[in-house]
Amino acid sequence: MTQQIPTRLYLSDEEIPKNWLNIRAYMKDKPSPMLHPGTLKPVTEQDLEPVFCKELIKQELDESSQLIEIPQELQDFYRAFRPAPLIRARFLEKVLETPAEIYYKFEGTNTSGSHKLNSAAAQAYYAKEEGFTSLATETGAGQWGSAMAMACAFYGIKLTVFMVKVSAKQKPYRKTLIETYGANLIPSPSDTTNAGRAVLEKDPNTNGSLGCAISEAVELALTSKNSRYVLGSVLNHVLLHQSIIGQEVKAAFDKYGIEPDIIIGCAGGGSNLGGLIAPFMALRLQGKSKTHFIAVEPASCPSFTRGRYAYDFGDTAMTTPLIKMMTLGNAFMPSPSHAGGLRYHGMNSALSKLYKDGFLEARTAQQKDVFEAAIRFAKIEGILPAPESAHAIKAAIDEALKCKKTGEKKTILFGLTGTGSFDMSAYADYNSGNMSDYIPTEADLEKGFSSIPNIPQNRS
């Protein structure tokens, strides 16, 4: 029975989901397995054990469990910042004069400012459970670093964050936030690792890159006692943790009898998108719904829309396992864009497979259009979004305006992954007219593609 739908759809304590949902278990055609870069054979738990926590490896390789219970102690931590608000965008609907119903799931009310804390909390929890006393990671825009710093402070784990040097300079407040939670922040490349020193030797004035920061973090984890490496996107276990987003939406929608026609998420490595759509994609894969899924990526880094479906490395140093994914090539250099969280060359393998199999639409958005949508949304609905999240807002507004034309009363859900509180310099650029759009040329793309390793690509 449908109750009257309030502006904010809350879940009572009993209604809060206690399980993550593993989308791979619902896929008839599974994503291709991760390969060991030396042997080109599927990686084993043993291969990954020096780098990751055991339970996370199990989750990474698990393609059959549909639901995985969230440990009680972690559920308690989630309760400090979840459920995240699910809001009916009544004011936006009114201004757009659309017959569509628009909902958004807002993940930005915790101090880290984004959904990243969902996986950070889980990864820190398992590290603590397995007796690790320190962790290492990298961060680009800083959302993941902030989230890991919070989670590690909570569980009493020492954390080192390698932050891309240019970001550490451009976002000093992100740096302060991470340090305030007690983490050790090192601008990357640094002279604390072989990987960092090698890069500095070539170019002492380099701005750094996510690829190099990953290499430094992995090296530190491997060479430290009682330590492991953690990562905030792309991998399957990260998407699993992020499914709490979709699980909460599903529970609330079920409570009020709402069925989404369209679900929209911004897409970088896929952590938010995969988490948001998980339970709804599971229904679609079972033929139980016709929900349409839209991934929105920046025109400056179009992994889905202009990438290749191929085995590629996760990092530019080409040290990670090979992942079959939509990729622009590990050497692809995205232009400076303010949506730092979406500047990754590849995409989670399950989402890549779903895209190739036609279950997921992808489209791009230009930076200036994205900021225009962001500010429009902020003025109407109150929340100033992160530039990443604003990609989804742009598409949601577009879809709602289509409904206005056709008269269709569609139900649209989008993921509002975080706040723009730490992105004010980007907004200042937009306000002053100093922002430009950028679309990679075919030559830019070819340069990236040439870095995709030349191995048999037909494994699946």
Which of 44, 109, 286, 406: binder of a copy of itself (CB under 8 A)? 109
Residue 66 CB contacts under 8 Å (≥ 6 apart), including other chains: 21, 22, 25, 26, 282
- Strand pairing partners for 161? 137, 185
Which of 30, 36, 54, 90: binder of a copy of itself (CB under 8 A)? 90
Q: Which is nearer to a copy of itself, 381 or 444 (CB)?
A: 381
* Shortest Å, Cβ 173 to a copy of itself: 4
DSSP reduced 3-state for 162: strand
Per the CB < 8 A criterion, the answer to whether 388 and 342 are in contact is: yes
Stretch that binds a copy of itself, among 82-90, 245-253, 265-273, 438-446 (CB under 8 A): 82-90
Q: Which sign does the torsion angle of CA 226, 50, 241, 339 carry?
A: positive
What's the farthest any 2 CA atoms get from each other in the chain?
66
- Three-state SS string over 184-239 comes to EEEEECCCCCHHHHHHHHHCCCCCCCHHHHHHHHHHHHHHCCCEEECCCCCCHHHH
**Side chain identity at residue 175, one-letter code:** K
Q: Break the chain down into helix, strand, coil percent, rounded to 5.
A: 45, 15, 40
Q: Which is nearer to a copy of itself, 23 or 121 (CB)?
A: 121
**Side chain identity at residue 176, one-letter code:** T
Which of 42, 54, 67, 154: binder of a copy of itself (CB under 8 A)? 154
Q: Which is nearer to a copy of itself, 25 or 95 (CB)?
A: 95
Stretch that binds a copy of itself, among 160-168, 206-214, 334-342, 413-421 (CB under 8 A): 413-421
Per the CB < 8 A criterion, the answer to whether 411 and 259 are in contact is: yes
Which of 41, 50, 73, 80: binder of a copy of itself (CB under 8 A)? 80
Peptide bond before 187: cis, by omega within 30 degrees of 0? no
Copy the structure tokens of residue 101.
């119903």
Which of 204, 287, 382, 456: binder of a copy of itself (CB under 8 A)? 382
Mark 134-153 with x for binding to a copy of itself (rule: CB under 8 A) and - for no binding: ----------------x--x
- Contact between 384 and a copy of itself by CB under 8 A: the answer reads yes
Q: Which is nearer to a copy of itself, 177 or 339 (CB)?
A: 177
What pairing do the DSSP bridges indicate for beta strands 262-266 and 86-88? unpaired
Stretch that binds a copy of itself, among 104-112, 194-202, 236-244, 278-286 (CB under 8 A): 104-112
Which of 22, 59, 98, 110: binder of a copy of itself (CB under 8 A)? 110
- Contact between 76 and a copy of itself by CB under 8 A: the answer reads yes
Q: Which is nearer to a copy of itself, 79 or 288 (CB)?
A: 79
DSSP reduced 3-state for 276: helix
Name all contacts of 182-187 with Cβ < 8 Å and 24+ positions apart: 182/149, 182/152, 182/153, 183/145, 183/148, 183/149, 183/152, 183/153, 183/159, 184/158, 184/159, 184/160, 185/145, 185/160, 185/161, 186/160, 186/161, 186/162, 186/216, 187/162, 187/163
Stretch that binds a copy of itself, among 199-207, 330-338, 340-348, 427-435 (CB under 8 A): 427-435
Q: Which is nearer to a copy of itself, 120 or 413 (CB)?
A: 120
DSSP letter for 26, please: G
- Contact between 435 and a copy of itself by CB under 8 A: the answer reads no
- Give dist(CA 447, CA 403) in Å, integer: 40
* Shortest Å, Cβ 370 to a copy of itself: 14
- Contact between 133 and a copy of itself by CB under 8 A: the answer reads no
- Contact between 45 and a copy of itself by CB under 8 A: the answer reads no
Which of 31, 33, 113, 415: binder of a copy of itself (CB under 8 A)? 113
Mark 296-335 with x for binding to a copy of itself (rule: CB under 8 A) and - for no binding: ----------------------------------------
- Report CA 433 to chain centroid distance, whole Å: 28
The residues in 240-259 that bind a copy of itself, with binding defined as CB under 8 A, are none
The residues in 160-199 that bind a copy of itself, with binding defined as CB under 8 A, are 172-173, 176-177, 179-182
Binding site for a copy of itself (CB under 8 A): 4, 6-8, 10, 12-13, 76, 79-81, 85, 87, 90-91, 109-111, 113, 150, 153-154, 172-173, 176-177, 179-182, 375, 378-384, 419-422, 424-425, 427-428, 431
